[in-house]
Amino acid sequence: MTLENISINKSFSGWHKQYSHHSDSLNCPMRFAIFLPPQASNDQRVPVLYWLSGLTCSDENFMQKAGAQRLAAELGIAIVAPDTSPRGDKVPDDDGYDLGQGAGFYVNATQAPWHRHYRMYDYLVEELPALIEATFPVSDRRAIAGHSMGGHGALMIGLRNPGRYRSMSAFSPISNPSVCPWGQKAFSAYLGSDTAAWRQYDTSLLMRDAPEGPPALVDQGASDPYLAEQLQPQALQAAAQASGYPLQLNLREGYDHSYYFIASFIDQHLRFHATHLQD
C-alpha cells in the first residue's frame, strides 16, 4: 500500500509524522499521524498506543494538544492517531457536528448512505494496525485509548478484541451510547432502528458481559458540561461492578471536557499502558 508523507517534525528526539493512504475498508483516502520515539529502529520494534479522538476532531488534535510526546519518548511507546471518520467529496456527510464526517463513532455502518464508507471499526481493528506494523518499527504489543467519542471507541474495541490489546483507557468516554442523544443519533443513522444491533458497540453493555479483558483506566472531569446527559460514567461503573471487570474510574474535581483535562493526566495514562506493554 502506498503511503504519502504529509509532514515530519522532530519531537523529543523522536519523530512526529503524518501520512495519507487509500483505505480499502473506507473506500476513500485516509490520514493518520504517528509519533515514533527515539528507541524505534530497525533493531528495536516498540509497542504502540492507538489514540481515538472525539467529535469534530482529526489526527491532529491529540498530537498537538495533549503533550504526550515527552513521556512517550522516555517510555519508548509509539502513538498512532487516526482520523475520526472517512472524508472527501464523495463521502456522505450531515449538517450536524455529531454525525457524518468527523463523527464516525468507530462502528461498521450497515445503513445507506453510510455503509459504503463508514466502516471505522474494521479500519481500526484490522487495516490500520496491519499497515502500521508492516511499515514502521513497531511490535504487535498494542494498547488503545481515546477521548469522548474516541473513549467510547477505545473501550468498545478493547472489549471486543481482548487478545489484541494489552490495556485500554479513556478520558470522558461516551459510556452508554445506546441511551444518550449523541449515541442514539449516530446509531440510528449508521446501524438502523433495531436497537439489538447497537449492543455490540455499547461499552457499558459489553463490559457488563465481560468479566475479563484488557485492564481499563478511565478519567472523567466532574465539571464536564456533557457529564450527565451524554457521558454517563455511572453506567460504566455499574457494569464493571456487576461483572467484576478490572476498571479504575477516577472522577476529577474541577476538570471539564477539554484538552486541558487530557494534558493534566495523560502521563498517568501513558505510565498505565507502559506497565502492560512490557514484554
Q: Active-site residue numbers?
A: 148, 224, 257
Distance, CA of 209 to CA of 1 (rounded, Å): 38
Distance, CA of 6 to CA of 29 (rounded, Å): 13
HEC string of 175-210 equals: CCHHHCHHHHHHHHHHHCCCHHHHHHHCHHHHHHCC
